[in-house]
């Protein structure tokens, strides 16, 4: 697959330059450096895979110490195409591990012939055919250790689901090549050379994708890279395209979670009051504590069931009842003739009953936490509704108060309008009187008696006679 590209011209684009079984080379363009770097980090540390996490040694007479060999086993890549079918151990309700959250491996090799016996990763026997050590078609996998005659290794491993930010053994990538601005047009190498940039930083093949800027042209200090070159090499646990797609999905989930958190933070009614935060955090901590303690308590119950006489009898009775019920149901479903069911021996009955008690305790804890969470959610929703109702009442009171203030202001406005109209009439009268005074002032002096002045002040027309000299 060469030269394939997807995306709108205005949106981020991906152009795949090469793709094979363990690596992919592609170009990401029309995006920012932060987005490209987030994709790189997600591919390295956020993509889940399966890896050996627990190792139990029954026999080890080789020259390698248990810790050294356990570390080598943890770094063996496992095929993880169906990793989404498994749960994280922290999300599983089992006591230690089960088929829903883990895969078991066994290795038992003894060297009985002279010379050196090489043990490969392909000799690990898996309980799940879909999760096996990675190996090429023409090889036996990774060399785990070498033994001489008489040496023996016998161990049991448990592989679990995880991500590389917890431990590097879960990383699906052997290396992630990442480059931008191959011609150094943005001058990001100006302080990273001794004598010559071109000699100490030779151009890569990615330089063919871009043009070199004119060295005499003015430098754009606001320029940012928009094209990024990736070369992802996997360890074989996942296909390279699956690594890129899973990393993209992880980034989308993180962005959606951030968006929802911002919307909840900006919504005044979503969080109710701040005093609700402390009970919520306390409940979460208590739930996590109960969940963590339930597993060792269940293991303790199993041990007590095997050693304590009362628990032993209880386990035997529970196991026998469960065994009879299961066998009757199987014979009925399969259409077999009903026959007398042979009871379990005491050892098997104690083991089965102890496991049943342990699993029943964990199940009861999980059910209790679910009911407690539902009750807490209902109470929180009720408190939110009460808070919203209180806020609505406060808003209605404020609206009523504002309406009263508006009515009062409207009355005051009418009074002021009447006063303004009265002042406007008086102003017009004074203007007319002033015009008459000015008009009279342009003529010869006249004689005015008291009667005429009174008539003039009353707004009546008066006739003035000129004075004789």
361-373 in b/e burial notation, b at 16+ Cβ within 10 A? bbeebeeebeeee
Angle, nearest 10°, between helix axes 277-307 and 346-441?
A: 180
Listed as own residue / partner, the contacts of 124-127 with beta carbons closer than 8 Å and 24 or more positions apart are 124/76, 124/157, 127/99, 127/103
**How confident is the model over 10-23, as a mean pLDDT?**
89
Band (pLDDT 50/70/90 cuts) for residue 294 is: low
Residue 433 vs residue 122, higher pLDDT:
122
**How confident is the model over 307-336, as a mean pLDDT?**
73
Q: What pLDDT sits at residue 59?
A: 94
Band (pLDDT 50/70/90 cuts) for residue 442 is: low
Q: What pLDDT sits at residue 10?
A: 66
Q: Are 80 and 133 in contact (CB under 8 A)?
A: no
Q: What is the pLDDT of residues 334-354, one digit of tens each?
A: 666 666 777 777 767 777 777
Could you give the CA distance from residue 143 to residue 76 in angstroms, rounded to a whole number?
A: 10
Q: What is the pLDDT of residues 374-412, one digit of tens each?
A: 787 788 778 878 887 788 788 888 888 888 888 898 899
Band (pLDDT 50/70/90 cuts) for residue 235 is: very high
Q: What is the pLDDT of residues 53-99, one digit of tens each?
A: 999 999 999 999 999 999 999 999 999 999 999 999 988 888 888 99
Helix (H) or strand (E) holding 411: helix 346-441
Reply yes or no on whether the pLDDT at 272 is more than 50.
Answer: no
Task: Indicate the burial class of 306 (C-beta count within 10 angstroms; 0-12, 13-18, 19 or more).
Answer: middle
Band (pLDDT 50/70/90 cuts) for residue 161 is: very high
Band (pLDDT 50/70/90 cuts) for residue 176 is: very high
Q: What pLDDT sits at residue 453?
A: 63
Percent of the chain having pLDDT more than 90?
A: 38
Q: What pLDDT sits at residue 285?
A: 58
Could you give the CA distance from residue 354 to residue 350 in angstroms, rounded to a whole number?
A: 6
Q: What pLDDT sits at residue 234?
A: 96
Helix (H) or strand (E) holding 147: strand 143-147
Q: Where are any strands of DSSP class E within 181-285? A: 227-234
Count H helices and E strands in the chain, helices first.
8, 13
Could you give the CA distance from residue 419 to residue 427 in angstroms, rounded to a whole number?
A: 12
Q: What pLDDT sits at residue 426?
A: 83
H helical segments located in 7-152? 33-45, 66-74
């Amino acid at each position: 697959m060469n030269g394939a590209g997807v995306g709108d011209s205005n949106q981020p684009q991906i152009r795949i330059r090469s793709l094979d079984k363990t690596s992919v080379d592609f170009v990401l363009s029309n995006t920012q450096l932060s987005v490209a770097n987030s994709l790189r980090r997600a591919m390295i540390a956020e993509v889940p895979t399966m890896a050996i996490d627990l190792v139990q040694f029954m026999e080890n007479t080789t020259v390698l110490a248990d810790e050294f060999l356990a570390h080598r086993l943890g770094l063996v890549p496992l095929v993880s195409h169906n990793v989404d079918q498994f749960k994280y151990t922290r999300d599983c309700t089992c006591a230690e591990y089960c088929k829903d959250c883990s895969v078991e491996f066994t290795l038992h090799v003894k060297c009985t012939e002279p010379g050196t016996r090489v043990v490969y990763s392909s000799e690990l026997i898996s309980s799940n055919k879909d999760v096996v050590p990675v190996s090429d078609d023409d090889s036996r996998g990774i060399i785990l250790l070498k033994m001489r005659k008489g040496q023996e290794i016998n161990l049991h491993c448990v592989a679990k689901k995880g991500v590389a930010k917890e431990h590097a053994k879960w990383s699906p990538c052997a290396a992630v090549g990442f480059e931008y601005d191959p011609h150094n047009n943005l001058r990001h190498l100006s302080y990273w050379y001794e004598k010559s940039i071109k000699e100490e930083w030779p151009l890569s093949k990615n330089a063919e994708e871009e043009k070199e800027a004119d060295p005499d042209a003015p430098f754009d200090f606001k320029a940012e890279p928009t094209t990024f070159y990736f070369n992802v090499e996997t360890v074989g646990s996942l296909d390279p395209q699956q690594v890129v797609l899973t990393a993209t999905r992880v980034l989308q989930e993180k962005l959606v979670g951030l968006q929802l958190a911002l919307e909840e933070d900006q919504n005044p009614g979503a969080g109710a009051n701040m005093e609700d935060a402390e009970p919520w955090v306390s409940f979460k901590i208590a739930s996590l504590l109960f969940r963590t303690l339930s597993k060792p308590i269940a293991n303790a119950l199993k041990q007590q069931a095997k050693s304590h006489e009362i628990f032993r009898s209880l386990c035997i009775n529970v196991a026998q009842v469960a065994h009879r019920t299961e066998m009757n149901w199987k014979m009925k479903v399969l259409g077999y003739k009903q026959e007398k069911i042979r009871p379990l021996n005491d050892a098997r009955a104690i083991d089965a009953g102890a496991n049943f008690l342990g699993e029943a305790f964990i199940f009861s804890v999980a059910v209790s936490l679910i009911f407690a969470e539902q009750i807490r959610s209902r109470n929180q929703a009720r408190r939110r509704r009460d808070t919203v109702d209180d806020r609505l009442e406060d808003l209605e009171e404020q609206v009523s108060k504002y309406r009263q203030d508006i009515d009062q202001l409207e009355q005051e406005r009418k009074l002021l309008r009447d006063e303004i109209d009265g002042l406007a009439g008086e102003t017009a009268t004074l203007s007319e009187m002033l015009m008459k005074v000015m008009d009279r002032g342009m003529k010869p002096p006249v004689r005015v008696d008291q009667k005429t002045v009174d008539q003039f002040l009353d707004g009546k027309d008066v006739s003035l006679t000129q004075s004789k000299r």
